[in-house]
Structure 1
Amino acid sequence: MSPDTPGGHGPPGSVPPLGEGTAEDLLRGICFKTGPPRIVGVELEWLLHDREHPRVPVSHHRLEAAAAAVRALPLNAAVTFEPGGQLELSSRPADSLMACVNDTATDLIAVRAALGRLDLVPVGLGVDPWHPPRRLLREPRYDAMETALDRWGAAGRAMMCTTASVQVCLDAGEEEPGPLGYGRRWQLAHLLGAVLVAVFANSPFRLGRPTPWQSTRQSLWADLDPLRTLAPAGQLPPRDAWASYVLDTPVLCIRGEAGPWAVPEGLSFRDWIRGGLPRRPVQADLDYHVTTLFPPARPRGHLELRMIDAQPGDDGWLVPLAVTTALFDDPEAAETVYRTVKPLAETAGPLSAPRNPLWLAAARDGLADPELRVAAAACFELAMEALPRMGATRAVQDTVAAFHDRYVARGRCPADDLRGLLAPDRVDSRNDLKGTLS
């Protein structure tokens, strides 16, 4: 989750108010910008732990020092820090998979070195296995988010402060039908998404105890505000479905010149346009509202795939990036993978992701689910065949193949390793974790 804080709401009367028809047109035109897929990006979130004592919470002043050190680096990526102190690197849009991989890998070398000088390490886990939610950023956006999500229980604070992910960003797709058409890619995101949850599940612990989930992070997203994290209904064409979803979802907050911001209850953006209170919304409010919606796939001129847990190891992040990009952007792989995962729609049922049976099985069971295991094996085979066609280096191909052999071929996911390493009865798992999590 990025801070995503566009400005421009301006003082009352300084910007033309937004009409309902204009809002629908903007959403249809801006969120699904079409063209040949050629751009790829990745957003990497990391928990920050003490290098020698990972179970001890990192103090606020050490996290502030870490933020200052990382922001001072000449990075390719944009740097942000999440409410609980998680580090996020958002790559620039790259014109190839390898350009994205190389830029990100270079940035991570510098980031790890800077954090190492502070005895900190970036940790690839979907959920912090030990520490309770502790919000460090005090900003109007996060104050409002906490207030709004608290209405639905404790999952909101846990999501804000203790979770981390790998988010893959790809072009929306071509206007014309076919394997690279935006309609097909939108459907693929929601079917393949469940496979990605299962394959990369990496968060089986929370608050020092094992959970019933391989991806506890995904379970937290499913427990949030029932509309804000739900995929749009599938009956309408993607552009119409997305426009309706955005306008009919309650606003998280109404920004003002100073905090605290208003946090209305049950006020949809459509109702806000029609009612005009406490002020008339403008386009910047619509842009901001989109950043407060957290479905598993979010169109923002490109497709954000938001369902993947953060991954362990120095290069674990590049496996979901490479596999997902190959399956979406290589035409041959895209056509075949769509036919491979389309039967999963029957398992998904009528409910939208992430609350349908398919997504819940992926989060709960990972690749222990036989249907998801078969689909994952087919997806990896297609991706490994496509990567050479996309110019992936031998090192990237070998990393993907090693993940396949260690996990996918054996019906396992990274969470299966963690259940042994993080068991509560282990006296000291520090040495085991050094090479696995950092």
Structure 2
Amino acid sequence: MSSDTPGNHRPPEQATPIGEGEAEDLLRCICFKTGPPRIVGVELEWLLHDREQPHLPVPHHRLEAAATAVRALPLNAALTFEPGGQLELSSRPAESLMACINDTAADLVAVRDTLGRLDLAPAGFGVDPWNPPRRLLRRPRYDAMELVLDRSGPAGRAMMCTTASVQVCLDAGEEEPGPLGYGRRWQLAHLLGAVLVAAFANSPFRLGRPTEWRSTRQSLWADLDPLRTLAPPAQLPPRDAWAAYVLDTPVMCIRGDEEPWAVPEGLTFRDWIRRGEPRRPVRDDLEFHITTLFPPVRPRGHLELRMIDAQPGDDGWLVPLAVTTALFDDPEAAETVYRTVKPLAETAGPLAAPRNPLWAAAARDGLTDPELRAAAVTCFELALEALPRMGATEAVRDAVAGFRDRYVARGRCPADDLRELLTTDRRHGSAHPKGTLS
């Protein structure tokens, strides 16, 4: 199985080396591109399971056939495959929430139909409930990633090969301060992020057994290399914080003509610039380095919110997309939600997400945590008020309202349903609850 993931190519041999000041300037400019929020996107990861026996690993040749078939489709979204064979659809930047939803929904219909003819289904789990990590993609990038993440323990391989998410992509925001300003949106993302983890937690099983987490996926991220997965320090302005974070995080690997690529230990990008060994880095190296950093919110010109578990059902993914977009891009909702989640900073304490107490409670307790539940109730009410102003259809509003009534109003999340279903199936000797797939 081949990967279309960016960053698998060597830098141009004749490219001009990058200096430290130039790197800092580039990071400040390219990672927070400001302007009125109007563009939205979504990245959907799916585990691929056999439709009749989802608890069994899908053989490599079947995943190869699925990849070939899906790549032949005329999709709106970009299609990639993750190291464990997870399928990822990355929507094009859309001019509105509904344009993003409609394009993505059309792609998913085609993908599901194609996979169905191969007796496969995209499964909406944050973590594969049954199968251990099994890396199928053999690329220098993933060889290096595995080696680096192994230094921190087994969570890295589990993250690479058995997890799936919904990533919401929003404009960075306006230059001026205010509810749509990029500084406010950056801060909001890290506080609201814990609420999103709790509300949409959907990974309470791993390796065939229940875990202590509602979002086991989030617990795996918290166990990874802390320098690579923590949020930048909140004490600095966003541009300064991000530039320092990128330059002072160790590089994962140094690409070259020969494989495997060099995997230095403890060499920050700033050190690499200053030392110029084993070769001098260029701008392409800096951009590749950014793709090897996994904070919960990653600025790439826009903001990538990376903390939401993959969701069950055909349209479960659109609820976090709609709620998050409404809370960020509707000025009235953005102002009120900021006041709602700002007190959560006291619970978070000085540690950065995802290792602080707030994010740990969100991953472990979901909406049984009273503080997170109260915040989620307000967030969903604000989103439901804002969605008509954003042109959301009645079907989208009904999906959000249905999720609120089924989960948020009752202090529950999808993980609670999944835990009950899978635990019941274990007692009855059944290993494949088909109702949780797709």
Which category of TM-score, normalised to the shorter sequence, fits these structures?
over 0.9
Matches of 1:379 and 1:434 in 2, distance apart?
31
The answer to whether the 8 Å contact 2:123/2:436 transfers is no
> What's the counterpart of residue 170 of structure 1?
170
User: 1:77 matched to which residue of 2?
Assistant: 77
Residue 58 in structure 1 maps to residue 63 in structure 2: no
Partner-residue secondary structure (3-state), 2:84: coil
Counterpart residue identity of residue 288, structure 2: Y
Which residue is equivalent to 2:261?
261
Whole-Å separation in 1 of the counterparts to 2:216 and 2:131: 14
Equivalent residue number for residue 152 of structure 2: 152
Q: Secondary structure at the match of 1:308?
A: strand
Q: Distance in 1 between matches of 2:384 and 2:244?
A: 38
Is the partner of 1:280 in helix, strand or coil? coil
State the match for 1:47 in structure 2: 47
- Contact 2:40–2:325 under 8 Å retained in 1: yes
Q: 1:422 corresponds to which letter in structure 2?
A: L
2 CA distance for matches of 1:2 and 1:119?
Answer: 24
User: C-alpha separation between the residues in 1 aligned to 2:268 and 2:428?
Assistant: 49
Matched residue, 1:384: 384
Deviation at residue 426 of structure 1 after TM alignment: 3.2
- What's the secondary structure of 1:227's corresponding residue? helix
Q: Please, what TM-score do these two structures have when normalized by structure 1?
A: 0.98
User: Which residue of structure 1 aligns with residue 430 of structure 2?
Assistant: 428
Write out aligned runs for 1:261-410 (5 A): 261-410=261-410
Compare 72-81 and 250-259 and name the one that shifted more: 250-259
Residues 384-431 of structure 1 deviation map (CA, whole Å, 9 limit, x = unaligned): 00000000000000000000000000000000001111113231253x
Q: Relative to structure 1, is the Cα distance of residues 135 and 8 closer, same or farther in structure 2, using a 3 angstrom cutoff? A: closer
SS at match of 2:243: helix
SS where residue 229 of structure 2 aligns? Answer: coil
3-state DSSP class of the match of 2:427?
coil
| AA matched with 2:437 | L
CA-CA distance at 1:249 after TM superposition = 0.3
2:134 aligned partner, one-letter code: R
Q: Are the equivalent residues in 1 in contact too, given 2:81–2:88 (CA < 8 A)?
A: yes
- The runs of 5 or more residues in structure 1 that have no matched partner are none
SS at match of 2:435: helix
C-alpha separation in 1, matches of 2:93 and 2:180: 19
CA distance in 2, matches of 1:183, 1:426: 52
Paired residues in the alignment total 434
Is contact 1:127-1:205 (8 Å) kept? yes
Which amino acid is 1:398 matched to?
D
Greater CA deviation, 253-262 or 363-372?
Answer: 253-262
Distance 1:306 1:20 in 2: 28
1:41-86 deviation per Cα after TM superposition (whole angstroms, max 9, x unaligned): 0000000000000111100000000000100000000000000000
2:41 touches 2:169 (CA, 8 Å); kept in 1? yes
In the alignment, which residue of structure 1 is the partner of 2:30?
30
Per-residue deviation at 1:355? 0.2
Aligned AA (1:316): G
Partner residue of 1:129?
A: 129
Take 1:29 and 1:207, find their aligned partners in 2: how far apart are those partners?
43
Instruction: Report the 3-state secondary structure (helix = DSSP H, G, I; strand = E; otherwise coil) of the residue aligned with 1:48.
Output: strand
Distance 1:2 1:110 in 2: 20
Is this contact kept in 2: 1:46–1:165, CA < 8 A?
A: yes
Measure, in 2, the Cα distance between the counterparts of 1:299 and 1:289.
13
Contact 1:70 1:115 in 2 (8 A): yes
Deviation at 1:434, TM superposition (A): 2.5
Matched, 1:211 2:211: yes
In structure 2, give the amino acid aligned to 1:46. W
Aligned to 1:4: 6
Query: Equivalents in 1 of 2:388, 2:291: separation in Å?
Result: 35
* SS of equivalent residue, structure 2 residue 322: helix
Task: State how far apart, in whole Å, the 1-side matches of 2:100 and 2:395 are.
Answer: 14
Corresponding residue of 2:116: 116
RMSD between superposed Cα atoms in Å: 1.1
Q: Which runs of 5+ in 2 are unaligned?
A: none
Identity of matched residues, %: 82
State how far apart, in whole Å, the 1-side matches of 2:122 and 2:390 are: 29
Match of 2:22, SS state, is helix
1-structure distance, mates of 2:66, 2:136: 13
Q: Distance in 1 between matches of 2:122 and 2:356?
A: 33
Cα distance in 2, alignment partners of residues 181 and 223 from structure 1: 32
Query: 8 Å contact 1:7–1:284 — kept in the other structure?
Result: no
